[in-house]
């Protein structure tokens, strides 16, 4: 705030106030209305969820590499499902279901969107808080309850469900007869995801209203930072997607507990018993689910676009290439994301004409994605890139996004997908483009905004080691999966002990060791988080010499974000590589500079 | 250190965004029903209980009385838009709340009527959609009734958002509930 001109801030207009800063522990840190605390709570939930999901994946990978050996410690913690540590095919599917559900919903959705968005978005638009702080608090706690309900499935008699994170009907609809975990475990899954939808809808509502109505003076839409644009677009995608998944969960739950037949066909025999249902459509569930499911990919990845597009210009010390084109491409991706859900259903028996209709927009969606990638490369090209952990993870994001995007190009062709759909090729593809890319966005955001969140810098040495080992680990883990898929190695199988796929065991073992290596590399990150929080060097207000509003307040910001004053925005967020009062950049609140006027 | 109240524009945006989410939800239910009806030769049609049409009139009347109440809020209001509760508009407001409960009772009677005919939630796909759609509309309407009471609470409070702004946002939601019911009535009459 030292250089911020007095003319660039003003006192708020005379009006009523409420939401006084809480003093008690419960109101301050637990049931807090402060967006900054809620953002940290979401990130904390994401951290717990990602650790849980990663441990589940290790158990699966260990079993795939050594199918006849008991998995260490598993027999101790899950004696009912894996006696002596031996993983049954059913338990493998249960682990897979919980891994996918936890990672997609409680990590890839909560951390990059709800976590960083909650902390940063109000700061970047100059607001004191989200538009509806109580809804915001409810949003987090509803999501937290959803997580608790989901993990409760581990502790019910038959364990968690085994129908995958997609919960395909009728397997997910007929109840206990469908197998272990399909009784109470599957019901808990449906209830959990329904609750999760409510939490995300409340969050999306807040993000949209805050972006549209709580911007400070001078903060036009054109002056919004790229990350705020990305969260805004993501909230629109989420609003539509979760509004459809919620009804799907309601109908599925009614099929399970109320005897309806929305998704269960006539004459279905399960475990030698004719199911007392008639006339339902399993395909209806797939349509409803994937209408949500494909946009969910963009709910996970578009915040990463925004994070990378915010960090790159700050580290390259030059303006982002084509910022408005970038936003237009994100909007195009958001629109197209609702026209491509059928490409997940090429093998569902749809007509070739329908498959073509879904294939074409899937191919078209690669165009804005490719333009965005080229804009990043153009921004980096010729710049004096500051090599730090945040910028390295941005480069890593571009790399894994391109890698995953290229394999998606093949899968968008119905004829090729027919062969590859049920194989590890798909596993490698979506882990790169959705999982790893989103995680790299989360890591980049963490290293970039940690000083603002906690007032301390993270260790760059540890961060660079973390990046290097993670980058190697993800390619070693997920790239060979493409080769397995091309060789016809099917997914969702718990082992390949005596068939033609046994030849793939060596590669599976390599992947397992890589996955364990990748997981071990994350211990560096966890240590860095903890150590930096306690002992890291005190962060200045603007350690990256960045332009957006969050860097014009203290680190960490005060309760009302700007110390009772409202900033006035006079520049766009893209003013790098110029001659300003502070150096080669102009902050959004800086006074007008002749010859360097912002957008 | 304090934070400012939510501005009226954000409240309105929030209501419209919420309405968009509800529209998407009911669009999903509608598409599910159309798909089910189209793919099922044994879809059993049944006649809607006549009380549902009277309920539509009740709900539309409640929208009218809410507007009458809002038109009669003429002040005097202070700078923050607060007035007193002893105004002519309050009686119309109370009529609105009363009509909303009449509507809910009417919906309950419709469900009773169908149950007496042996049509329950799981009896047939058409009855399942009928109960789901009407029950979810009633659930959303209960939210609207909660909002009507919240607006009354705001009127009596010493601080917080301006009552006129809250009433305006609540009215948007309430009118949407009436429109949504008309839409549901049409698709139920056509499909179930």
Which positions in chain B touch A238 (Cβ < 8 Å)?
none
Query: Among the listed ranges A570-574, B42-46, B176-180, which one has the minimum average pLDDT value?
Result: B42-46
Chain B closest CA to A494's CA: distance in Å? Answer: 34
Helix (H) or strand (E) holding A58: helix A35-65
Contacts of A442 (CB under 8 A, 6+ apart): A46, A111, A112, A115, A116, A304
Select from A476, A474, A483, A473 the least CA-distant residue to A425.
Answer: A483
Question: Between chains, do A281 and B14 touch, taking CB under 8 Å as contact?
Answer: no
The pLDDT value given to residue A433: 94
Residue A52 and residue A99 in contact, taking contact as beta carbons nearer than 8 Å? no
Cα nearest neighbour of B19 on chain A? A205
Question: Between chains, do B7 and A262 touch, taking CB under 8 Å as contact?
Answer: no
Cα nearest neighbour of B128 on chain A? A260
Which positions in chain A touch B1 (Cβ < 8 Å)?
20-21, 558-560, 564
What is this structure's pTM?
Answer: 0.93
Across the interface, of B4, B17, B36, the residue whose CB is closest to A208 is B17
Select from B47, B132, B126 the least CA-distant residue to A278.
Answer: B126
Question: Between chains, do B159 and A21 touch, taking CB under 8 Å as contact?
Answer: no
Chain B closest CA to A146's CA: distance in Å? Answer: 20
Query: Among the listed ranges A197-201, A586-590, B34-38, B57-61, which one has the minimum average pLDDT value?
Result: B34-38
Count Cβ atoms within 10 A of the Cβ of residue A106 and give its class: 0-12 exposed, 13-18 middle, 19 or more buried.
buried
Q: What would the two tokens of residue A412 be?
A: 């968008």
Tokens 């360097």 -> residue:
A596
Distance between CA A451 and CA A445 in Å, rounded?
11
Interface test with B, best of A38, A130, A198, A205 (most B CBs within 10 A): A205
Question: Between chains, do B3 and A208 touch, taking CB under 8 Å as contact?
Answer: no
Question: Between chains, do A243 and B25 touch, taking CB under 8 Å as contact?
Answer: yes
The pLDDT value given to residue A554: 95
Phi and psi at residue B5, in whole multiples of 5°?
-75, 160
Question: Between chains, do A247 and B17 touch, taking CB under 8 Å as contact?
Answer: no
ipTM: 0.91
Tokens 């809002």 -> residue:
B70
The pLDDT value given to residue A294: 94
Distance between CA B102 and CA B92 in Å, rounded?
15
Residues paired with residue B4 on neighbouring β-strands, in sequence order = A17
Cα nearest neighbour of A561 on chain B? B3
The pLDDT value given to residue B173: 97
Distance between CA A289 and CA A247 in Å, rounded?
10
Chain B closest CA to A131's CA: distance in Å? Answer: 6
Select from B48, B80, B2, B81 the least CA-distant residue to A12.
Answer: B2
Question: Between chains, do A287 and B35 touch, taking CB under 8 Å as contact?
Answer: yes
Chain A closest CA to B110's CA: distance in Å? Answer: 20
The pLDDT value given to residue A573: 96
Across the interface, of A18, A208, A291, the residue whose CB is closest to B159 is A18
Question: What is the dihedral sign for C-alpha A421, A427, A428, A433?
Answer: positive
Residues paired with residue A134 on neighbouring β-strands, in sequence order = none
Which positions in chain A touch B7 (Cβ < 8 Å)?
213-214
The pLDDT value given to residue A595: 56
For chain A, residues with pLDDT lower than 50 are: 1-7, 11-17, 596-599
Across the interface, of A19, A205, A278, the residue whose CB is closest to B2 is A19
Ramachandran area for residue B5 (φ above 0: left; ψ -120 to 50: alpha; else beta): beta
Task: Specify the 3-state DSSP secondary structure of A501.
Answer: helix
Residues paired with residue A384 on neighbouring β-strands, in sequence order = none
Residue B154 and residue B160 in contact, taking contact as beta carbons nearer than 8 Å? yes
Which positions in chain A touch B9 (Cβ < 8 Å)?
212-213
Distance between CA A276 and CA A306 in Å, rounded?
50
Interface test with A, best of B15, B16, B18, B28 (most A CBs within 10 A): B28
Query: In Å, what is the CA distance from A362 to each residue of A236, A382, A395?
Result: 20, 33, 25
pLDDT at B80 over 50: no
Exposure string (b/e) for A93-103, b if CB count within 10 Å is 16 or more? bbbbbbbbbbb
Interface test with B, best of A20, A213, A259, A565 (most B CBs within 10 A): A213
Omega of the bond leading into B76 within 30 degrees of 0 (cis): yes
Q: What would the two tokens of residue A374 be?
A: 């080229």
Q: What would the two tokens of residue A443 be?
A: 């890591």
Question: What is the dihedral sign for C-alpha A297, A301, A306, A312?
Answer: negative
Question: Between chains, do B24 and A261 touch, taking CB under 8 Å as contact?
Answer: no
Interface test with B, best of A13, A16, A136, A240 (most B CBs within 10 A): A16
Chain A closest CA to B14's CA: distance in Å? Answer: 6
Contacts of A106 (CB under 8 A, 6+ apart): A45, A46, A49, A53, A143, A146, A147, A150, A196
The pLDDT value given to residue A349: 85
Q: What would the two tokens of residue A51 be?
A: 């650790």
Which positions in chain B touch A129 (Cβ < 8 Å)?
3
Give the A:B interface size as CB pairs under 8 Å.
131
Which positions in chain A touch B39 (Cβ < 8 Å)?
281
Residue ranges of chain B whose CB lies within 8 Å of a chain A CB: 1-7, 9-11, 13-14, 17-18, 20-22, 24-25, 27-29, 32, 35-36, 39-40, 42-43, 80, 121-122, 125, 128, 132, 136, 159-160
Question: Between chains, do B122 and A21 touch, taking CB under 8 Å as contact?
Answer: no
DSSP B8-44: HHHHHHHHHHHHHHHHHHHHHHHHHHHHHHHH-TT--
Question: Between chains, do A560 and B2 touch, taking CB under 8 Å as contact?
Answer: yes
Chain A closest CA to B164's CA: distance in Å? Answer: 15
The pLDDT value given to residue A2: 41
Which positions in chain B touch A259 (Cβ < 8 Å)?
121-122
**How many angstroms from the chain centroid is the CA of residue A583?**
35
Query: In Å, what is the CA distance from A422 to each residue of A11, A114, A419, B107?
Result: 60, 32, 7, 48
Determine the Cα angle at B60 with ends B54 and B61, to 5°: 90
Omega of the bond leading into A556 within 30 degrees of 0 (cis): yes
Interface test with B, best of A15, A131, A348 (most B CBs within 10 A): A131
Distance between CA B101 and CA B192 in Å, rounded?
25
Distance between CA A440 and CA A333 in Å, rounded?
20
Predicted confidence (pLDDT) per residue in B4-14, tens digit = 777 878 899 99
Which positions in chain B touch A240 (Cβ < 8 Å)?
20, 24
Half-sphere exposure at residue A432, Cβ-oriented, CA atoms within 13 angstroms: 27
Which positions in chain A touch B33 (Cβ < 8 Å)?
none
Helix (H) or strand (E) holding A336: helix A323-336
Which positions in chain B touch A246 (Cβ < 8 Å)?
25
Residue A449 and residue A511 in contact, taking contact as beta carbons nearer than 8 Å? no
Residue A99 and residue A188 in contact, taking contact as beta carbons nearer than 8 Å? no
Residue A143 and residue A110 in contact, taking contact as beta carbons nearer than 8 Å? yes
Q: What would the two tokens of residue A69 be?
A: 């050996």
Cα torsion B48, B54, B58, B60 to 10°: value is 70
Residue A278, Cβ neighbours under 10 Å: how many? Answer: 15
Distance between CA A147 and CA A141 in Å, rounded?
10
Cα nearest neighbour of A287 on chain B? B32
Distance between CA A283 and CA A51 in Å, rounded?
34
Interface test with B, best of A10, A137, A247, A560 (most B CBs within 10 A): A247
Distance between CA A344 and CA A283 in Å, rounded?
12
Predicted confidence (pLDDT) per residue in B102-144, tens digit = 999 999 999 999 999 999 999 888 999 999 999 999 999 999 9
Residue B155 and residue B139 in contact, taking contact as beta carbons nearer than 8 Å? no
The pLDDT value given to residue A9: 55
Chain B closest CA to A94's CA: distance in Å? Answer: 29
Distance between CA B12 and CA B118 in Å, rounded?
44
Q: What would the two tokens of residue B61 be?
A: 């009347």
Residue A434 and residue A297 in contact, taking contact as beta carbons nearer than 8 Å? yes
Query: In Å, what is the CA distance from B167 to each residue of A239, B67, B81, B85, B93?
Result: 25, 10, 11, 13, 10
pLDDT at B78 over 60: no
Cα nearest neighbour of A14 on chain B? B4
Chain A closest CA to B160's CA: distance in Å? Answer: 7
The pLDDT value given to residue A594: 65
Distance between CA A20 and CA A33 in Å, rounded?
10
Which positions in chain A touch B35 (Cβ < 8 Å)?
281, 284, 287
The pLDDT value given to residue A13: 46
């Amino acid at each position: 705030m030292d250089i911020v001109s007095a003319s660039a801030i003003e006192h708020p207009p005379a009006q009523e106030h409420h939401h006084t800063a809480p003093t008690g522990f419960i109101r301050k840190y637990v049931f807090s209305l402060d967006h900054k605390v809620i953002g940290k709570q979401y990130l904390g939930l994401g951290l717990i969820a990602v650790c849980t999901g990663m441990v589940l994946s290790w158990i699966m990978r260990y079993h795939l590499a050594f199918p006849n050996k008991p998995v260490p410690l598993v027999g101790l913690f899950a004696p009912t499902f894996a006696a002596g540590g031996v993983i049954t095919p059913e338990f493998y599917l249960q682990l897979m279901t919980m891994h996918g559900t936890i990672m997609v919903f409680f990590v890839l959705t909560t951390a990059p969107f709800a976590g960083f968005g909650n902390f940063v978005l109000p700061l970047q638009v100059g607001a004191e808080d989200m538009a509806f702080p109580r809804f915001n608090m409810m949003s987090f706690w509803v999501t937290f309850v959803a997580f608790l309900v989901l993990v409760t499935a581990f502790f019910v008699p038959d364990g968690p469900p085994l129908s995958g994170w997609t919960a395909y009907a009728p397997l997910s609809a007929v109840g206990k007869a469908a197998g272990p975990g399909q009784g109470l475990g599957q019901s808990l899954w449906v209830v959990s995801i329904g609750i999760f939808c409510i939490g995300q809808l409340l969050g999306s509502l807040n993000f949209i209203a805050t972006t549209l109505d709580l911007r400070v003076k001078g903060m036009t839409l054109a002056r919004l930072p790229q990350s705020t644009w990305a969260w805004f677009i993501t909230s629109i995608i989420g609003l539509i997607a979760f509004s459809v998944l919620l009804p799907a969960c309601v109908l599925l739950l009614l099929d399970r507990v109320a005897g309806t037949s929305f998704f269960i066909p006539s004459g279905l025999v399960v475990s030698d018993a004719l199911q007392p249902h008639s006339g339902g459509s399993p395909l209806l569930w797939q349509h409803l689910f994937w209408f949500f499911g494909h946009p969910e990919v963009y709910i996970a990845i578009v915040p990463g676009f925004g994070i990378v597009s915010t960090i790159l210009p700050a580290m390259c010390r030059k303006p982002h290439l084509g910022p408005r084109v970038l936003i237009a491409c994100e909007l195009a991706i958001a629109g197209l994301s609702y026209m491509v859900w059928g490409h997940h259903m090429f093998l569902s028996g749809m007509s070739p004409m329908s498959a073509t209709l879904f294939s074409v927009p899937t191919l078209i969606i690669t165009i804005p994605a490719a333009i965005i990638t080229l804009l990043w490369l153009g921004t980096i090209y010729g710049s004096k890139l500051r090599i730090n952990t945040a910028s390295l993870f941005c480069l890593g994001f571009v790399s894994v996004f391109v890698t995953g995007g290229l394999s998606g190009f093949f899968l968008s062709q119905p004829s090729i997908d027919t062969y590859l759909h049920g194989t590890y090729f798909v596993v490698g593809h979506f882990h790169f483009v959705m999982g790893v890319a989103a995680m790299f966005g989360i890591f980049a955001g963490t290293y970039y905004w940690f000083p603002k969140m906690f007032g301390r810098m993270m260790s760059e040495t540890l961060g660079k080691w973390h990046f290097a080992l993670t980058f190697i680990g993800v390619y070693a883990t997920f790239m060979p999966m493409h080769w397995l898929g091309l060789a016809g190695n099917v997914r969702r199988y718990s082992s390949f002990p005596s068939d033609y796929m046994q030849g793939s065991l060596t590669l599976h073992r390599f992947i397992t060791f890589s996955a364990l290596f990748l997981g071990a590399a994350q211990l560096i990150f966890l240590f860095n988080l903890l150590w930096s929080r306690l002992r890291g060097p005190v962060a200045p207000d603007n350690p990256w010499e960045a332009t957006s509003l969050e860097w014009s307040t203290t680190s960490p910001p005060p309760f009302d974000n700007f110390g009772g004053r409202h900033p006035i925005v006079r520049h766009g967020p893209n003013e790098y590589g110029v001659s300003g009062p502070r150096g080669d950049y102009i902050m959004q609140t800086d006074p007008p500079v002749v010859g360097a006027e912002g957008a | 250190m304090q934070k400012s109240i939510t501005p009226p524009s954000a409240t309105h945006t929030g209501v419209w965004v919420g309405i968009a989410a509800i529209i998407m939800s009911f669009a999903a239910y509608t598409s599910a029903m159309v798909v089910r009806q189209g793919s099922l030769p044994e879809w059993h049609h049944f006649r809607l209980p006549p009380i549902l049409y009277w309920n539509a009139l009740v709900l539309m009347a409640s929208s009218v009385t809410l507007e009458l109440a809002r038109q009669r809020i003429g002040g005097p209001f202070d700078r923050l838009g607060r007035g007193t509760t002893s105004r002519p508009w309050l009686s119309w407001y109370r009529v609105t709340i009363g009509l909303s409960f009449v509507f809910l009772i009417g919906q309950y009677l419709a469900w009773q009527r169908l149950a007496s005919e042996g049509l329950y939630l799981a009896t047939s796909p058409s009855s399942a959609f009928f109960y789901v759609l009407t029950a979810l509309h009633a659930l959303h309407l209960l939210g609207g009734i909660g909002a009507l009471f919240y607006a009354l609470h705001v009127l009596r409070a010493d601080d917080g958002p301006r009552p006129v702004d809250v009433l305006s946002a609540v009215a948007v939601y309430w009118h949407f509930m009436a429109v949504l019911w008309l839409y549901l009535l049409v698709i139920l009459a056509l499909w179930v």
